[in-house]
Structure 1
Amino acid sequence: MLIISNYHYIRDDFSARYPSVFGLTPAQFRKQLEELSRHGEFISLEKLLEFQHRPLDRNYILISFDDGLKEQYELAKPILDEMGVPAAFFINTSNFKEKIVSLVHKIHLLRSEISSHEILSELQKKGTAPLSEKEKTLAITHYNYDEAETALLKYLLNFKMVLPEQQAFIDPLFEQIFDEHQVNSALYMDKEMLQALHGQGYLGSHSHRHLPLGQVDPEVLQEELKNTQDFFRSNFGKPSAAISYPYGSFEASTGISEAIEKAEFSLGFTMERAANKDLQEDSLLLSRFDCNDLPGGKNDLFKGQHIFKNPELRKWHKNESSIPHKR
């Protein structure tokens, strides 16, 4: 069986005028790794690829990071190296090729300076369509670590509004407060860090621009996959074998397996909170837990029990209508 723990922010200090992100301190990260080591064996991406066509031979744990943040390399990787724990780091290639800040991170930064209530009010003034009751429920379920108002804002921006609408609203606000070039340099890893991670077999794609791939037009999806794989070929000599789907929701991750496979990815990672019995049935819709869902996190779903003792198993892949990668 395979259980995957996913991380974003690793910081010594998360204080802000309006707290906008949830992560772990290095001490908390180390403590969680120590706890997880008592449940299973840590596995690398390269080793995981070997189990596409044969059963998993023991209980494995994969440590993964999304977004290619510099703090992951500077604060988390030394702990991983010291403890001998392999990991997967998924990057948005536009941050490195075009030196831009992902829209999702612009939103995080703005929310640290402006309250969710104020931003929602501005959206209402501009006539943005409100969320339905069903969408409100989905928002609170998906962003379960946020306060309700923040969850609604994030869902409205990330899933309800189309990309041009988001950019037209967020970019002017961002430019009033931040310098994009400075933020890009401070927030994301540099070329040497990427090369080091690739040399260890730790690097994967998080798409090109951090779009919800399952919800964009087919032409945009193809462009996203081509651009991210072109970056990997140009910089590392070969395409990425693994992709982590931005946002990771059911809607953002499913219905695209054929395109993902055509783009030469062998492994795909969602944010379905569940364990993976194997990779043989489907290797492109692997489930992951947020680190806060696991022992040592803010909301341990396992309540102190062994994580491999009767865990919830992934189901999203059973809904996929076109999955040529199933064996």
Structure 2
Amino acid sequence: MTYLSPLGYLLGVEGAALLRGFKEGSADRAFVEARIAEIRTLLDTPALAHAEGVTAEPGTISTADVYQDWAPHYDAPGNGMIDLEQPVVRRILDGLPLGAALDAACGTGRHTAYLHGLGHHVTGVDASPDMLARARERLPDVDFHEADLHRLPLPDNAVDTVVCALAVSHVPELAPVLREFARVLRPGGHLVLSDAHLLSSYVRPTLPRRPGPDGRASLLTEYHRPLSAYLAAALPLGFQVRHCEEPRRPRGSLTPETAPDTLPTHMSWDLLHWYPEASAAALDDSPVAVVWHFQLDAARKGSPSDR
């Protein structure tokens, strides 16, 4: 069980701001005293002091359930991670040769559409029927398949490029998924992989979802990894690193003008806007995602399924 407390979260943000300030040398006396004063205020705020947190049970809601809820508004403006991840992915794709491409975990087809526009022959695969419905509406002339990343509906050596965006945090082990990508890629083919950054997961933990049958809130299980985990999974399969980038949250993204009218007493990212200086110190210029560009070794020997 995980107990998610709005007061606990804000105290954690204040603590993260202090620790980062100490580490980076930006925590002068005024900054430290301001954080301590805000901590005292937080502890004395009745709306927070008496607010009940939420006890959530990890693993009681599926990825399919979450994406069913997300599908209608996934492409709406303001998804901060997509806003930072997408330009990096597109810049990499702009430099790749045209050919057959797979958008694995394509979602609503945002990268599928870009690949298609560049001139690739694209196939889209996703496990969520709700997200695929949106993709098919957007791109009626593209082949989409409902399938899992562990069992891609493509033969060996079928594509020149694989894109997998913001999806592998939902799988418990990277190696089987990357092995499947290596199987469908031709020798010398390219893999562009993006994921939520491990550091971001600490300052913006997963929020609780709708209650389950027992009335408890649900917590989606996610797997956030250090950068070394991607290398440990990719290199033995014959992938070579061509580029790695960690898009960062821009400075000034949290301002007092965006504060809500009332103080939320439940776990919500709106809480961050009530103490923007601490939130900015903890979050600004911190990595939100990681984007990898791998290339499969053209001289790799053996069966694709053995990689």
Whether TM exceeds 0.5 here: the answer is no
Rg larger for: 2
What range describes the TM-score normalised by the shorter chain of this pair? under 0.3
Instruction: Choose between structure 1 and 2: higher strand proportion.
Output: 2
* TM-score (norm: length of structure 2): 0.28
* TM-score (norm: length of structure 1): 0.27
